[in-house]
Amino acid sequence: MEKVLFGDNQFFAVNHLSDEKSRQQSIQFREDAAIIRVLDSAIETGIQTFMCTTHDRIANVCEHIRQNRSRYENFKIFPCMPYAHKYANAVTELGILGTIQQYVPGNIFGTFAKGGMALLSKDFAKLMQILIDAEMKMFKDINTPVIFIQNVITDMVLGLKMYDVFVEYDRYIRKKYNAEPGYITMNMPKLLDVLNSVGINNPVICSSINKIGFRMSGGKEIYEKYLCEKEFRPVAMQVLAAGALRPKEAIDYLKRFPKIESVLFGASSKSHIQETKDLIMNNS
């Protein structure tokens, strides 16, 4: 993986510090062209990896990439799924069965509608594969070398102790998509222990890593211990702690942990992208 990964929070008005900033971003990126302009700016600074959710608008970005292959020849996307808000909004608008009909292939929906719910519930792995395939359709013919499972699912699986789900996810992503499975979590130490316990070694784990312990479940100290002692491939996100840290201060903290493989960040302007990228690269 590259040292610098560009994220998508700013495109979809996700700001953990300011509702006003979220409102401004929702206006700034109301058109897909605005998203593409910022991605192009990131590419111009040398960033070649976009880590993003499976938000419906990402499908439009992917279509633009397919139509302009020469410009994006070396560009990679790391999908993060599922995009929970998409399904929650669909349930509100369409109901549960309507949501299934929209996102699950027709033949499976037919089985479901005829009373096959119990059957499907017994074969969670198969249902998971179907949903992964549905989410991955938008990335057809795009280089996706790492595919992440979102923290909303990762941490739910941890809480329910359904650890076989991780085994099936790991196996399916490698076999079907020839990609590296990645895991996003708000509890990196717990997740790493569980993955190791089911035979998943040296995993790619994306988690909050920052100087003040923001969203680092279990405490900063155990994160630091694992970053120094354990074998895994860490991706640091929320390094600015939702704006509580200045960029230089935040990146200076990360350099204490050479094991960190990549740093994920989002920005809305080329100058901020360049500044943050330079800080990360100069401290690596």
**Residue range 42-81, pLDDT digits in tens:** 999 999 999 999 998 999 999 999 999 999 999 999 999 9
Q: Is residue 99 part of a domain?
A: no
Name 78's bridge partners: 51
228 has pLDDT over 50: yes
Is position 28 within any domain? yes
**Mean pLDDT for the stretch of residues 94-99:** 66
Q: Which of 88, 91, 123 is nearest to 108 (CA)?
A: 123
Question: Taking a C-beta distance cutoff of 8 angstroms, is the pair 94, 174 a contact?
Answer: no
Per the domain annotation, does 102 fall within a domain? no
Write the Ramachandran bin of 283: left for phi over 0, alpha for psi from -120 to 50, otherwise beta.
alpha
Instruction: Please say if the pLDDT value at position 106 is more than 80.
Output: no
Token reading at 243? 């704006």
Give residue for tokens 């808000």: 85
In a domain, 228, yes or no: yes
Residue 40 lies in a domain: yes
What would the two tokens of residue 207 be?
């988690």
For residue 152, being part of any structural domain is answered with: yes
Classify the phi-psi angles of 179: left when phi > 0, otherwise alpha if psi is within -120 to 50, otherwise beta. Answer: beta
Whether omega before 82 lies within 30 degrees of 0, making that bond cis, reads yes
Q: Model confidence at 256, in pLDDT bands (50, 70, 90)?
A: very high
User: Which segment of 8-17, 19-28, 44-53, 195-204 scores lowest on mean pLDDT?
Assistant: 19-28
The CB-side HSE value for 280 (13 A sphere, CA atoms) comes to 26
Distances (CA, A) of 116 to 19, 85, 101, 156, 218: 43, 26, 14, 24, 40
pLDDT at 149: 96
Average pLDDT of every residue of the chain: 88
Span 96-110, average pLDDT:
59
Q: CA-to-CA distance for 260 and 235, rounded, in angstroms?
A: 6
In the chain, the number of structural domains is 1
Domain that holds residue 56: 4-84+144-282
Residue 216 included in any domain:
yes
- The pair phi, psi for residue 108, each rounded to 5°, is -70, -40
* Interacting residues of 94 by C-beta distance below 8 A, sequence separation 6+: 101, 102
State yes or no: pLDDT of 11 exceeds 60.
Answer: yes
> Mean pLDDT across the stretch 104-109?
54
**Does residue 126 surpass a pLDDT of 60?**
yes
Locate 238 and state its tokens. Answer: 């929320």
* 122 inside domain: no
pLDDT value of residue 50: 98
CATH code (residue 248): 3.20.20.100
Query: How much is the average pLDDT of 241-269?
Result: 94
Q: Which DSSP state fits 231? A: -
Q: Evaluate if residue 100 carries a pLDDT over 70.
A: no
Report residue 215: phi and psi, to 5°: 55, 40
